[in-house]
Chains A and B, each alone.
Chain A
């Protein structure tokens, strides 16, 4: 005779966490091992949210690769390929060629940090752009080699302190300028190259979607604060990212076929010192000596130059300027 099992007591309805209540699809899951306040981790999540599931991601060696895939775990819900430090663009070219050969429309997103993009992977990136592969390349720019412990890269801003550009009696941090990568990318006459910041998620999402809609190579430079490398409190990453844009040191612009398209206007430009003083990497610029003052003035001049060059000074009328872009609006036209 069959024994009738007593019915299991009904499980009490579980309270869903705010994260689980979000209907949003996540390509990069929570639970990875990034530092608190990591700009890159948030930026990568936002890129994947905007891109959706029909993508293949290639990843250069670096923090993102390390903190998302300690075997046997992986935080990725999309197919993901990591090979080396300097070939994210080239393996993405290969994945895209395979997709083309098989008649698949799956979009390929190559990712890398500033070291893997500005410096060691620069040749592979240039080749990918020149050959017009249908790939979106996303560079998470935290302005130094963070994975190896904060060494200067071609993207490190002038005068910033890193472990290989330390300030001292003879030096005021990095001697050279930040490489103007976006202009070099634009010189390849790619259909779309843009900069954005993790601190402006609406802008970032829009640019990812726009880039993915374009057939051909596209490029996104995402300014991504690094609390450990920049020396700031982990809770202030977003604030610092906003200040970088609002002072003009990190211009948020769009370049179409090499020509300036849109820019994100700055509602109220802030002095660079407001941005610099929150970060230990610029601490030596606040010493009481003439060299420090000169470098502060130098950086302010660079920011002013960016504001002039890209016409970043807003008149307050653009609802998508630095103050308006992330304002929540419910329906209705922007103007």
Chain B
């Protein structure tokens, strides 16, 4: 049934349908509405689970680490500073190979303090060893949240579902909420093989020296690389049940013979998609909607950029002193192609700066202007800075 729901409310209901046994969270804007909605579902008896309202994000992540190790389906959510406070635990959850699901309501990272949307937080934990999946709208956020449990439990890897703070979390959309029976059919109860059980005691989190550490890292990397199959299968099975696919690892929209491609993650996909129809540009362009950031689908990106002369990467986070983050990975993926496209990295919408439809023609103008690979912050207003800092 179609319902008008706020993104956070929809995600909370989707998570509840997955029947998590333990939820731990700490309030932070713009994630707060998710945990508030889950708390209300628990209070109303609509979700039976242990809700642990902790004293910090650090403990939120630690609680779901413990509950997941004890074999309970476990969920948490956070943003920005919260994700950074969790960082040490996030690496640990992944290294222990625990199937935790976390929603990251993407937000800028302080200082200066800013509560609005960009991708700096999830990018900061890029190397934690989690699967990272980005959603472009709230329907995808609902569908991906459900798929995330399936992927996490099949691969024994934690999954971070990234949805843009405010742009998605606080926006009402008409959403098709799935039926509980359908979710139950899609997602069987968790039976975690390495759970803490007095009848079959295991030691989890032991000291691993140089003679085995490399192998542990190799196995973790290999598991992430292999997880693409499960990400695709989870999406395909969901599509078979609901008729809705979220687009696997990535999807390509637009004319096949386009010589220009633009790669985007998150809700900006929808903005640029609309802008492309409102502002038709002379050059043909295709839109690459990158859904799975970890594992990074390098081969799929290469295939999608085949025949392109220019590839534009829209950055929603930067690495000060280097430039783009996503762009560096795209460039690495395209290295060694016969006709290697020129990669243009443009950061937009940092700290919630509006990304208007006019961004699209501006991007195309900028690409036409500089033929060389480049990085710049497209929407910076230099006149606001003292002359020496421009």
Give me the interface of A with B, judged by CB distance under 8 Å: 53-56, 58-59, 65-66, 69-72, 74, 76-84, 86-87, 90-102, 106, 123-124, 126-127, 130-131
B64 partner residues in chain A, CB cutoff 8 A: 94
Whether A98 pairs with B55 at a CB distance below 8 angstroms is: no
| The one of B50, B53, B204, B205 that contacts A98, using a Cβ cutoff of 8 Å | B50
A55 partner residues in chain B, CB cutoff 8 A: 198
Segment of B65-73, B101-109, B291-299 engaged in the interface with chain A: B65-73
Bound CA–CA A99/B66 (angstroms)? 10
| The one of A58, A80, A93, A123 that contacts B52, using a Cβ cutoff of 8 Å | A93
Whether B212 pairs with A91 at a CB distance below 8 angstroms is: no
A80 partner residues in chain B, CB cutoff 8 A: 196, 201-204
Take A55-B198, A78-B198 as given contacts and tell me if A101 and B72 are in contact as well, using a CB distance cutoff of 8 Å.
yes
| The one of A77, A78, A92, A131 that contacts B66, using a Cβ cutoff of 8 Å | A92
Taking the nearest CB of chain B, how far is it from the CB of A212, in angstroms? 14
Q: List 27 A-B contacts (CB under 8 A).
A: A56-B70, A65-B205, A69-B206, A70-B209, A74-B206, A78-B198, A81-B196, A82-B206, A84-B89, A91-B66, A94-B22, A94-B52, A94-B64, A94-B68, A95-B66, A95-B196, A97-B63, A98-B21, A98-B22, A98-B74, A99-B70, A100-B50, A101-B22, A102-B71, A102-B72, A123-B55, A123-B59
Which 7 residue pairs of A and B lie closest in terms of their CB atoms, listed nearest first?
A94-B66, A90-B62, A91-B66, A98-B70, A127-B55, A98-B72, A82-B205
Interface residue B197 (Cβ < 8 Å from any Cβ of A): yes
Give me the interface of B with A, judged by CB distance under 8 Å: 21-22, 24, 49-50, 52-56, 58-59, 62-72, 74, 88-89, 92, 96, 196-198, 201-209, 212
Taking the nearest CB of chain B, how far is it from the CB of A42, in angstroms? 20
A74 partner residues in chain B, CB cutoff 8 A: 203, 206
Bound CA–CA A83/B66 (angstroms)? 9
Whether A94 pairs with B198 at a CB distance below 8 angstroms is: no
Q: Which secondary structure characterizes the binding site on chain A?
A: mixed
Q: Which of A66, A71, A86, A106 has the most CB of B within 10 A?
A: A71
B55 partner residues in chain A, CB cutoff 8 A: 123-124, 126-127, 130
Q: Which secondary structure characterizes the binding site on chain B?
A: mixed
A-B contact count (CB 8 A): 155
Taking the nearest CB of chain B, how far is it from the CB of A81, in angstroms? 5
Whether B204 pairs with A82 at a CB distance below 8 angstroms is: yes
A79 partner residues in chain B, CB cutoff 8 A: 196-198, 201-204
Taking the nearest CB of chain B, how far is it from the CB of A174, in angstroms? 28
Bound CA–CA A95/B206 (angstroms)? 17
A70 partner residues in chain B, CB cutoff 8 A: 206-207, 209
Taking the nearest CB of chain A, how far is it from the CB of B209, in angstroms? 7
Q: Which of B63, B72, B196 has the most CB of A within 10 A?
A: B63
Whether B196 pairs with A91 at a CB distance below 8 angstroms is: no
A58 partner residues in chain B, CB cutoff 8 A: 66
Take A95-B67, A123-B56 as given contacts and tell me if A54 and B198 are in contact as well, using a CB distance cutoff of 8 Å.
yes
Whether A83 pairs with B70 at a CB distance below 8 angstroms is: no
Bound CA–CA A26/B245 (angstroms)? 53
B74 partner residues in chain A, CB cutoff 8 A: 94, 98
Bound CA–CA A65/B207 (angstroms)? 7
Residue on A nearest B212 in the bound complex, by CB: A71
Whether B58 pairs with A97 at a CB distance below 8 angstroms is: no
Bound CA–CA A65/B206 (angstroms)? 7
Told that A74-B203, A93-B63 touch, could you supply 17 new A-B pairs with CB distance under 8 A? A69-B206, A70-B209, A74-B206, A80-B202, A84-B92, A87-B58, A87-B62, A90-B54, A94-B22, A94-B52, A94-B62, A94-B74, A97-B50, A97-B52, A98-B21, A106-B198, A123-B58
